[in-house]
Amino acid sequence: MAETTVEVTVSPGLTAPSDASDGSSAQTNPQDLLLVVFIHGFKGTDSTFAQFPERLRHVLAETISDVVVESIVFPAYETKGELTAAVIRFADWLTNLTVQREVAYGVGGGAGKAKIILCGHSMGGLLAADALIEFVRTRPDSRAPLWPNIVACLAFDTPYFGLHPYVFKNTAAQAAGYVRTAHSLISNLSFGSKAQAPTAASQAPIAAIEAPPASTQATGSIWQKWAPAAYAVGGALIAGAAAGTAYYKREDLSVSYTWATDHMKYVGTLWDEATLKRRVDTLFQIDQSMGVLFRDFYTNLPTNPPKFVDPRTFIILPKSSTRYASHFLPANNSLASDEISAHTGMFDAKTNDGYYELGLMAAQLIRDVVISIRTARESVEPKPAKKTPEASPAQVNQDATVKEKPAEENHSTPEDEVKQDSPLL
């Protein structure tokens, strides 16, 4: 893996242990160092998680004793090309980060002392999972410890089993509206030449849109320039695979076919059922055999009769009868209007009334992991033997006198014994 440089700002209130060579009392190293690493999804940015990382850091620092906690957001990366390339970049970044933090804090004086929590949103959860699997796979042997020491992989609305098909159905009408609005607005703009008005073809259902209408061929029209990509992204992709990323925005209408192609290449894994199942199987095995916690919080929209008689989710859930079911936890949101809004607004209290509950659930899982590791560590560490108190010279002489003292003779007579044994006397 190529060597990379990491520039990460320590969370507020956290500083590395200082050198006490100036004569001051040495600072005691914390028992644990937690690095909570957040990874955004497709088209996400450094601000995807808003204040959630810092809030989670604060809760963990307040509820776990003798610990230093850092929440770090993986810098924005290009979400295009193969997912494997993004995994390699992230693995390089995380390796460098871990070395820096373990050296800076000196926790326990050795590699692997920094406990890492991976938190991925949407496609970021796939990236986190694949990075974890790669670290496990590339160990020198199956008995070697995992480094970086990843102790949990928490996903937030990550489609490990794919995207729920109703996401496309429930948002198709909204997507069509965006396309029609954008077509109308851009067609009425003039940049050097007059654009012709949209035709009835722009009102066709999304599934029927395959190419821009002939009326957009006016020379110099901005709509002519971008119409093919706008229809591809706003129409077919939103109604199909692109809806999976849930990051469709109006400004995306002004991108080229390259964007759509890179997009499809990056999320192509969502349509490979065998790959999806194999990934979850491996995560489950790592959870069970190595103790690396795996959970996925999924957005859950309540019923809203008569239109929605069943709860709605952005991702496909495993069947309740499978062993994976308990690893998928609902994150309820009654404010979002649809699955995509719930997905993109997961880390904003204004769009998710389950925001604070989500943070507390994540904090509880992380705390349980740390306590479990501490308990296991204490059970295997050798306990110092209890010292037997040394006896004083006077006590030694006294004990010797007692041992050497002859037994007293028994001068009692048979009559005395009878009197002693008789209950009547």
Average pLDDT of 3-11?
42
Using the predicted structure, report yes or no on whether residue 249 has a pLDDT greater than 60. no
pLDDT in tens, 106-121: 755 566 789 999 999 9
Could you list the residue range(s) of the whole structural domain that residue 372 is in?
A: 32-156+272-379
Has this prediction a pTM greater than 0.85? Answer: no
pLDDT in tens, 315-335: 999 999 999 999 999 999 999
pLDDT at residue 345 in the model: 94
Lookup: tokens for 146: 């995992």
Cα 156 to Cα 328: distance, rounded to the nearest angstrom: 10
Q: What is residue 31's DSSP assignment?
A: S
Q: What percent of the chain has pLDDT over 70?
A: 57
Please identify, among 270, 294, 319, the residue that sits at the C-terminal boundary of a domain. 270
* 368 touches 62 (CB < 8 A): no
Using the predicted structure, report yes or no on whether residue 167 has a pLDDT greater than 50. yes
Q: What is residue 363's DSSP assignment?
A: H
User: What CATH number is attached to the domain comprising 366?
Assistant: 3.40.50
Pairing of strands 67-73, 32-39: parallel
Q: What is residue 34's DSSP assignment?
A: E
Residue 145 lies inside a defined structural domain of this protein: yes
Average pLDDT of 80-93?
86
* Same domain membership, residue 142 and residue 89: yes
* pLDDT averaged over every residue in the chain: 72
* Greater model confidence, 181 or 130: 130
Q: Which of 145, 225, 168, 238 is nearest to 193 (CA)?
A: 225
* Same domain membership, residue 175 and residue 143: no
* Same domain membership, residue 237 and residue 224: yes
Q: DSSP states of 67-83 as a string?
A: EEEEEEEPPP----S-H
Domain count, the chain: 2
Give the max Cα distance, the chain.
Answer: 140
* Same domain membership, residue 262 and residue 128: no
CA end-to-end span of the chain, whole Å? 99
Residue 192 lies inside a defined structural domain of this protein: yes
In three state form, how does the secondary structure of 229-278 look?
HHHHHHHHHHHCHHHHCCCCCHHHHHCCHHHHHHHHHHHHHHHCHHHHHH
Q: For residue 83, name the pLDDT band (cuts at 50, 70, 90).
A: confident
* Greater model confidence, 159 or 404: 159
* Same domain membership, residue 177 and residue 141: no
Locate tokens 């006590």: which residue?
395
Residue 27 lies inside a defined structural domain of this protein: no
Lookup: tokens for 389: 């108190």
* Same domain membership, residue 276 and residue 152: yes
Q: DSSP states of 265-314 as a string?
A: HHHGGGG-HHHHHHHHHHHHHHHHHH--EEEEEEEEEPPBTTTB-S-EES
Q: For residue 180, name the pLDDT band (cuts at 50, 70, 90).
A: low
Cross-strand bridge partners of residue 330:
298
Locate tokens 């990075």: which residue?
131
Name the percent of the chain in helix, strand, coil, to the closest 5.
45, 10, 40
Q: For residue 129, name the pLDDT band (cuts at 50, 70, 90).
A: very high
Q: What percent of the chain has pLDDT over 90?
A: 43
Using the predicted structure, report yes or no on whether residue 53 has a pLDDT greater than 90. yes
Residue 250 lies inside a defined structural domain of this protein: yes
Q: Which of 201, 222, 198 is nearest to 211 (CA)?
A: 201
pLDDT at residue 309 in the model: 85
Q: What is residue 113's DSSP assignment?
A: -
Using the predicted structure, report yes or no on whether residue 175 has a pLDDT greater than 70. no
* Same domain membership, residue 277 and residue 142: yes
* 187 touches 224 (CB < 8 A): no
Amino acid present at 7: E
Residue 93 lies inside a defined structural domain of this protein: yes
Q: For residue 54, name the pLDDT band (cuts at 50, 70, 90).
A: very high
Instruction: Give CA separation, 342 vs 2, 124, 297, 331, 395, in Å.
Output: 37, 17, 12, 10, 78
Q: What is residue 191's DSSP assignment?
A: S
Cα 23 to Cα 326: distance, rounded to the nearest angstrom: 53
Please identify, among 379, 394, 419, the residue that sits at the C-terminal boundary of a domain. 379
* Same domain membership, residue 118 and residue 191: no
Please identify, among 270, 295, 311, the residue that sits at the C-terminal boundary of a domain. 270
b/e code 194-216 from CB counts within 10 Å (16+ = b): ebbebeeebebebeebeebbebb
Q: What is residue 163's DSSP assignment?
A: B
Helix 273-290 and helix 123-137, axial crossing angle in degrees, nearest 10: 60
* Same domain membership, residue 288 and residue 146: yes
Name 395's Cβ contacts closer than 8 Å, sequence gap at least 6: none
**Helical (H) or strand (E) element with 330:** strand 328-332
Lookup: tokens for 321: 């009868």
Average pLDDT of 51-71?
96
Residue 9 lies inside a defined structural domain of this protein: no
Average pLDDT of 50-71?
96
pLDDT at residue 30 in the model: 72
Residue 309 lies inside a defined structural domain of this protein: yes
pLDDT at residue 165 in the model: 79
Average pLDDT of 303-313?
87
Q: For residue 252, name the pLDDT band (cuts at 50, 70, 90).
A: very low
Using the predicted structure, report yes or no on whether residue 384 has a pLDDT greater than 60. no
